[in-house]
Structure 1
Amino acid sequence: MSHKPSEPCVLSIDIGTSSIRSCLIDATGDIADNTLFAIEHSPTTTPDGGSELDPEEAFTKVCAVIDKSLSAAREYSVLPAAVAMTSFWHSLMGIDHRGKAITPVYLWADTRSAPYVDQLRSEASVDETYKRNGCPLHSSYWPSKLLWLRDSRPELYSQVDKWLSFAEYVQLRFTGELRCAHGMASGTGIYLQREMSWDPFWIDLLDLRENSLPRLTSLREPLGYLRVSDFPWKDLAGIPWYPAVGDGACSNIGSGAFDSSKVAINFGTSGAIRIVVDQYLEPPYGLWLYRIDKDRLLFGGALSNAGNIYEWLTETLRISHEQAEQCLLTIQKVKPGLVFEPYLAGERSPRWRPDATGTIRGLRLDTKPEDIFKAGMLGVLYEFAKVHDMLDNSLGSDDRVTLLSGGAIIKSQALRKALSEVLRRPTMICLEEEPSARGAALLVLEAIGAVKELKDAPTRLVAP
């Protein structure tokens, strides 16, 4: 769909684990023609479970996509009214007193701290921390990562002046301001969801200092302005930069699931099921609760195995895309007795077992690659249905519309059909090309008064 931007519009930056993207989005929620740019990247993984990004390499790529988007935007003679940003949740890195990165960016998928989860369980009440922090003790979050770094790399740990996510590091580099929006902080595991503050229990237990964490801020409060002496974009001089919002929250907003009438499922490399709620609730074990802002929270579950299992199955079994589509169309007809537990990337919701592994049961001499593919993908889809059921049980209703989004969902009609069948719920497909970038832009447009209500920017939805 062709779209030329109108003022006001926002430069929206989306920092993901597989790519970094930017584009110009106006108050209609549409991306301006030719302003979307992306640079792929991939984490460095290690045999012991490491998953890292180099902060300087990633920051250079952020600068590169911004440069391309602004160059394209100049053709319209339209300047962005603000800068929005969304980034992956749960990352952790350390900087020294000069703001220089002295650690890699440790991503949620880094499981090297998994052995320290048991130690935390002996020192902290699992139930109480879940209630306070809205998430379980797990290697995805900061407590176990910080404990691992303190014990295994004490010299490095002592040199860190501030602990932050990559999103705050990017903001610091651009604006000179080190602040963290409540929404980003709420995904760390050391944030008090009710009180909206850092949790003193973890500060004490992990030997942190009060000032070793960023100052918390509202997503409606601009961080400041670009340090134009350090960057070449005169277009952004005097343009306010707003704090980063977690990619899951932005994906919900951008796909049209901005209130409790809709559940959003994202099927990407990993997966998630999320719903926006307007009041605090205690998540049952298996799910989590994060914040978007003071008045909106995000309730849901995360799955470590989704599109990555599709890729592994097709590559390992040497199944073509065409064969995979045919298998998905008849996915319910799995060979009797063949069961594939798809925990190749460990497990988050609902049991939060980072050490979980994939298993196949029921192999026979007549088992074909297509049979294993069906069993594997059915195992993935059943995990989505399991978490969706937990969400409905917690909220006391199952009459919501479920919105499906993600590149795999848009590209594969067979996957859409299979997921809808397994969920046994009314579904709609979100056709928005960049839901996370769109959500970040809409939240900032709302903050500056350009969008009165999020529903004013209609979302493109179709039946599966």
Structure 2
Amino acid sequence: MDCFVGVDVGTTNVKALALLPSDLNTILAHASASVDTINPEPGQAEQDVTAIWNALVTVMADVNRQLARAGHTASHVAFSTAMHSLLAMDNAGKPMSHAILWSDNRAEEQANALRTSQKALGDAIYQQTGTPIHPMIPLCKLAWLQQHDPRLLRRAARFGSIKEYLWHRLTGVFEIDFSMATATGLFDPAKQQWSPQAIAFAGVRTDQLSAFVPTTQQRPLQINDDTAQLGFSANVTLVIGASDGCLANLGAGGIKPGVTTLTIGTSGAIRQTVKEPLRDPHGRLFCYWLDKDHYVVGGPTNNGGNVLEWIEQLVQKKTQAVLDEAETIAPGADGLLFLPYLQGERAPLWNAAARGAYLNIDFQHTQAHFVRAALEGVLFNLLSINQLLTRQIGPSRVIHANGGFAQSRLWVQMLADMAGIPVRLNTSNESGSMGGILLICKALGLAKSLDEAADRVSFGDTIQPDPTRSRAYQQVFRNWEKARTQLLND
């Protein structure tokens, strides 16, 4: 029987999920493979795209073996991919560089220029593209190459993302979906063209960039020795899909007004889906294309699950032991506050130079307090982004939570208590892959709209806020925001 596969190409893993279109609650196959990040210098983060391809081969071959054993065949495959990566390629699509990742801050000087000496240009580019100015975006990375490696800028036939590299290797064509394009800082979605102002600042030619296509674009798999390793049948159809953030919203059922989606993996994000493009007057929120009727608005944080990993290393304990410690401490960690900016910050600060801090330390604070405050700091930062969304879109009535953090009942309960509204957990925590599968349903006409597709998402528990803890957290949050303002303004 034919089934659909959603592939999620993330920063740390390549994952895939296979489901029947008639039953999105039963997993037919699932596989995952890790991907390493290279740090050539402090503040730099790269990946070898050949290694990502190899991870994709491992995952898809595993999924197809599982499907074959169960008597199923993958008929359609869609892709969810992390945003903001950039690599150089030759005419044949072979990499001429590693992929520079979203977490790479080498273009801090170029981003700062667009925020200070060239602020008018930076503001204009944000209003055109909907992408906040930050070292993460390809706009700034290309400008960095213009200054530091102009030879590569001239020699490369193509510049694109990890997804574009994989898509070309799978299909033989260079294409970029509108969703990924809106995350580059180079694309004007209103005119559906590369922004002349952004292109001029980046120093790249439009013929070095890919052709735009809808997120439902379909292509046959290019059959050759390279793709044969994937294990697909010859008639499989590929759907280009969208960015991980947009598909995480769709896969979490976060399409309707008043529904906020919060994701914490290595990093994190908080988002809502709107029907019309939105721009923050101060350039603090992104607005990314999902399809022509849906735009995902929100803010990403650099500091999510990686903060928990840092704590684990600091206290030399594994995840569950760390969480158990945090649970012994009351909300607010007895006044101990943590600013979670261990890797600079994107939203709401958009400051790559921001750094973390513990505040109000005294003799009563134990290791468990430090753990609790760290978990609270990550959520406080995300909820401060949500305040920006509330001012422009309206209040949230429910949060759909996904990502690795959703496996911790404690952390999810903390979120519900802080936000003061219910938090719903998806039956499947693979929201990016699920979003890809729902996009296939829309592409094939099995769902008339993404709203209808999102109605097929199923949920597990709903975590209700505790009124007493919620009241306590309101004051703690005010103290946290005041401390952040004072520290960053010093």
Query: Is the pair's TM-score, using the shorter chain for normalization, greater than 0.5?
Result: yes
Q: Does 1:179 align with 2:175?
A: yes
Q: Which residue of 2 aligns with 1:68?
A: 62
Q: Which residue of 2 aligns with 1:281?
A: 278
Q: Which residue of 2 aligns with 1:315?
A: 313
- SS of equivalent residue, structure 2 residue 299: strand
1:25-424 equivalences in 2 (<5 Å)? 25-27=19-21, 28-30=23-25, 32-33=27-28, 35-121=29-115, 122-123=117-118, 125=120, 126-232=122-228, 235-284=232-281, 285-319=283-317, 321-328=320-327, 330-336=329-335, 338-395=336-393, 397-410=394-407, 412-424=408-420
Runs of 5+ unmatched residues, structure 2: 464-490
Q: Which residue of 1 aligns with 2:471?
A: none
Q: Which amino acid aligns with 2:127?
A: K
Q: Which amino acid aligns with 2:445?
A: G
TM-score normalized by structure 1? 0.93
Change (3 A) 1:364 1:209: same
Is contact 2:178-2:213 (8 Å) kept? yes
In structure 1, what is the Cα distance between the partners aligned to 2:460 and 2:153? 48
TM-superposed deviation, 1:257: 1.0
Alignment deviations for residues 187-237 of structure 1 (CA, whole Å, 9 cap, x no partner) = 111111322221111222222212111000112221333224543257431
Change (3 A) 1:60 1:256: same
TM-score normalized by structure 2? 0.88
Identity of aligned residues (%): 24
Alignment deviations for residues 2-57 of structure 1 (CA, whole Å, 9 cap, x no partner) = xxxx54x2122211111111232222323533x21111122112442111100111
Change (3 A) 1:278 1:322: same
In structure 1, what is the Cα distance between the partners aligned to 2:459 and 2:34? 26
- SS of equivalent residue, structure 2 residue 361: coil
Change (3 A) 1:210 1:392: same
Change (3 A) 1:363 1:231: same
Structure 1 runs (4+) deviating above 4 angstroms are: none
Change (3 A) 1:168 1:322: same
1:423-462 equivalences in 2 (<5 Å)? 423-452=419-448, 453-462=452-461
TM-superposed deviation, 1:124: 5.1
Is contact 1:328-1:418 (8 Å) kept? no
Q: Which amino acid aligns with 2:187?
A: Y
TM-superposed deviation, 1:76: 3.1
Q: Which amino acid aligns with 1:335?
A: D
In structure 2, what is the Cα distance between the partners aligned to 1:31 and 1:91? 33
Question: How many pairs does the alignment contain?
Answer: 454
Q: Which amino acid aligns with 2:429?
A: E
- SS of equivalent residue, structure 2 residue 435: helix
Change (3 A) 1:293 1:404: same
Q: Which amino acid aligns with 2:25?
A: D
In structure 2, what is the Cα distance between the partners aligned to 1:149 and 1:134? 23
Is contact 1:262-1:400 (8 Å) kept? yes
Q: Which residue of 1 aligns with 2:488?
A: none
TM-superposed deviation, 1:319: 4.8
Is contact 1:326-1:414 (8 Å) kept? no
In structure 1, what is the Cα distance between the partners aligned to 2:189 and 2:157? 25
Change (3 A) 1:456 1:347: closer
Is contact 2:325-2:368 (8 Å) kept? no
Task: Report the more deviating stretch, 198-207 or 184-193.
Answer: 198-207
Change (3 A) 1:323 1:213: closer
